[in-house]
Amino acid sequence: MQTRYSRPLPPSTPAVPIPSVEPQRLYRQIADQLAQRIRAGSFGIGDRLPAERDLARQMGVSRPSVREALIALEVEGLVEVRTGSGVYVQARQARSPAVGTARDEWGPLELIRARQVVEGEVAAMAARQARRKDVSAMKQALQRMRDDAAAGVMPLQGDRDFHAAIAAACGNAVLAETVQSFWDSRRGPVFARLGGHFETAASWRKAVDEHEAVLAAIQAHEPEDARRCMQEHLDRAHARFSVSWRKVRSRS
């Protein structure tokens, strides 16, 4: 009888680990490209970078994404934003120690647009469902905003409490946690630095007025008005963070 032999198996090859690939935010990709150009000498120390609109056109991206990228580079010490003038390459010896931005931090301006969509609907729901205790919580938060703004203190806690109270009025835990997560994202280094340039006593007074309009619509149980007022508030917030660097001083 003829014996059949199977082909010998090749020696096992140890599996080669495949590094994970993490998706990058668009502004982070732009920041990395600009950082490479700075380090390669395309922009010299002390040079002013091209205007946002020019960088956006050259790179085929939006101006808000370029602005977010420039703020990230400032946090990392590669550039200096001079309000009323422009963005300049930072001298190496003057660069601050590497702070490092969270590479998965949401872009602030992109975040505001997402909030505009979600929180507009949340405000409309709150106008339909808010009870007396919900409106009372909104009023208390708004009063804290007024008091802090009048004292020259950034009314961040009152702002968070106000938006959280509106979300809580919807009776939906997912929406409540989503709104709070959105707001808490502004504590990231990129958003914090952006706020340092553009949030002023005058801008917060405008924001308080916009919150009052939202509250009035919710208290009147007018969903369409509540949605519109919330969307207008966040649209104006986006506009305040998007003003030209050269015009910032005239707004303070």
> What angle (nearest 5°) sits at the alpha carbon of residue 173, between those of residues 171 and 175?
90
What residue spans in the chain does CATH classification 1.10.10.10 cover? 26-94
Q: Average pLDDT for residues 168-179, to the nearest whole number?
A: 97
The count of C-alpha atoms lying within 13 angstroms of the C-alpha of 194, restricted to the half-sphere facing its C-beta, is 32
Rounded CA separation 107/237 (Å): 14
CATH 1.20.120.530 in the chain, residues? 108-251
Residue tagged 């997560």 (tokens) = 181
Helix axes 156-168, 108-129, angle to 10 degrees: 50
Strand 86-89, strand 79-82: pairing:
antiparallel
- Percent of the chain at pLDDT > 90 equals 67
Given this model, what pLDDT does residue 246 score? 59
Banded model confidence at residue 85, pLDDT cuts 50, 70, 90? confident
**108-251 belongs to CATH 1.20.120.530:** yes
Q: How is residue 1 annotated by DSSP?
A: -
pLDDT at 248 exceeding the cut of 90: no
Residue count of the chain, please give it: 252
Residue 237 has pLDDT above 90, yes or no: yes
Q: How far apart are CA 101 and CA 92, in angstroms?
A: 19
Q: Note the pLDDT tens digit of each residue in 178-202.
A: 999 999 998 899 999 999 888 888 8
205 has pLDDT over 60: yes
Tokens of 239: 């506009």
Q: Residue 156 in contact with residue 244, Cβ under 8 Å?
A: no
Compute φ and ψ for 89, nearest 5 degrees: -70, 130
Q: Which residue has the higher pLDDT, 200 or 121?
A: 121
CATH number belonging to the domain at 26-94, selected among 1.25.40.10, 3.90.1150.170, 1.20.1530.20, 1.10.10.10: 1.10.10.10
Selected residue with higher pLDDT from 95 and 37: 37
Q: Please compute the mean of the pLDDT values over residues 227-241 and round it to a whole number.
A: 96
In angstroms, the CA 40 to CA 215 distance is 52
Give Cα 203 to chain centroid, integer Å: 17
Mean pLDDT along residues 196-216: 93
Q: What is the pLDDT of residue 20?
A: 42
Q: Provide the pLDDT confidence category of residue 8 given band limits of 50, 70 and 90.
A: low
Q: Is the pLDDT of residue 236 over 90?
A: yes
